Chains A and B, each alone.
Chain A
């Protein structure tokens, strides 16, 4: 393999000199500042490691999805853990005519569908929740994302953080007091970073509601 070939590989990064990476702005300036290409890596695989649903893992992506669905490409949810709720996505600016929801029956089909969607070239982003995925599979997905110039995002449990991965970007998420703590475990042309705290919409809203407490809770419930 020549040096040129090596440099083309997505699972190899060079320290220091930043190669040109096309980044899709995440909508979170603090995160973009740490990402090569100043956004989500398009044409590559990203992994989001979290053991909890509901801490903002999807909100982290929604601004990018909203941007992507302005183009004429699909945004695919593959084996999502719950129903992606159309009114909420619409509220967040996602054009639902470009959203696909895929429910494969088996993990094998799930990985196949993810690869097909990434490779097709007609998906701006593919979000997938695989039950398992080995290195060989991940490599195939990474290649498929390159081929299809797609943003591939895999949601995986935190315990795979120790395993190596061909993904261009690996983030670990933790809940934080006013939003989401994002640890960058791996990024192209850069070292891992400590957590960056992202303020989520609801956190802003919460502050607003604290300023004007209009809560009308049943008397016996504790107030925030």
Chain B
């Protein structure tokens, strides 16, 4: 997997509509354009051009100095993300990754299906890649750099494909390249036609070794990339974003990246932190807490959308960082016997999270009964889904008042806008002597002429009447 415009992509993948951007290398007056985006190229900017000339061509051209460190970090993050396609990913810096996909073909339904998933995923992340397939890592690297159309699965076909490669697509020291060019050598095939003994003598061993590795006649072990246990990815926003809505696009890039890494680890996240850096060195933090771990990118985006809608940005945002301190095991849904049950739980939890992200945590709750005789203590708000115990009681109203309401007395009788009729028998509730909140009450069911039914009680100590609920 070769990333031809990686130096540019790290600055552009957070931008929805890219303005003209060029990445420069070199110092001072010797700054040249390394690579430019389409918006800049359309106005005449070309790689190799002096930065001053490019700036003269394009009004408002944004020039970013090449950031090799950020490119390396991006490459590593991409390697972690690729872990969802194969467990063997290795870095081929500065601009390539190697994926050993032989073992993944069945799982993903064949080579083309795998490549399609890979390509679509990369688009979601904001990268463009050339994908080439070859039996050896070095051959794959070279072929991907050349055009990215090669699909070579047999050693026999390798010679033909490699022979056509121009020298510029293989790694050669500048001096060697010059020497070969002077000898009239243009392609890999030309080198192969030289006598091998002479080749080793006239060039250093490395060239011969590289060719042997590319053709598979010398071993070429690669260290697999091992992703860190936490996720933390930053995205530069050179355009600076000043609306919460505008943050969603770059944030989605990071969420896609996170979810790929989570898939690779068969894990999910239950807490996420989004840090928004402002130019004046201040930071806005958005914390996301979930009821159940997930790796559903759409769900996470939705939750952040709700959260961000309530965030006030003190300043524009120039960089965002998404961090998950903890990844929790989350089995592959389709390989799991309890999958339907778990999928339902997951979906049910998602609703809670969506509601809470906008309304606040306390606004969304479950209720449970408590084995307690005092009516106001016989229930409690709880985390949704928790169960409770009850005691057997008499009839209870479906609606309880948060606080009992004092009832007026007329002619020694409780009065609620009219005289009340009583039904059933009184229920004495006497309880709570042990915790100082003891009550002694006689509860009655009362009814007015319109058929509304009330749950009222008389406090024995004071002989006052109270309305505690209605029957609904």
Contacts and interface: CB of A to CB of B under 8 A. Distances in A.
A58 B451 contact: no
Interface string A83-108: 11111111110001111111111000
A188 B186 CA distance: 80
Nearest to B341: A72
A176 interface: yes
Interface of B: 341, 344, 347-348, 350-352, 354-355, 358-359, 362-370, 375, 378-381, 384-388, 390, 393, 395-402, 412-414, 419, 421-426, 444-445, 447, 450-454, 458, 469-472
Contacts of A87: 369, 375, 378-379, 390, 393, 396
A116 B351 contact: yes
A211 interface: no
A123 interface: yes
A224 B398 contact: no
B359 A223 contact: no
B451 to A, nearest CB: 2
Contacts of B395: 88, 91, 202, 205
Interface in A94-131: 96-105, 109, 112-113, 116-117, 120-123
Contacts of A81: 399
A178 B146 CA distance: 86
Contacts of A103: 359, 362-363
A85 B469 contact: yes
A74 interface: yes
B358 A86 contact: no
Interface of A: 52-59, 62, 72-74, 80-92, 96-105, 109, 112-113, 116-117, 120-123, 174-177, 180, 202, 205-206, 209, 214-218, 220-224
Given A102-B355, A121-B347, A176-B451, 12 more contacts: A56-B453, A58-B398, A59-B472, A82-B399, A85-B469, A88-B395, A98-B385, A109-B358, A109-B359, A116-B351, A205-B395, A216-B426
Given A96-B387, A113-B355, A88 B398 contact: yes
B386 A97 contact: yes
Contact of B396 (A85, A104, A105): A85
Given A56-B471, A104-B359, A202 B384 contact: no
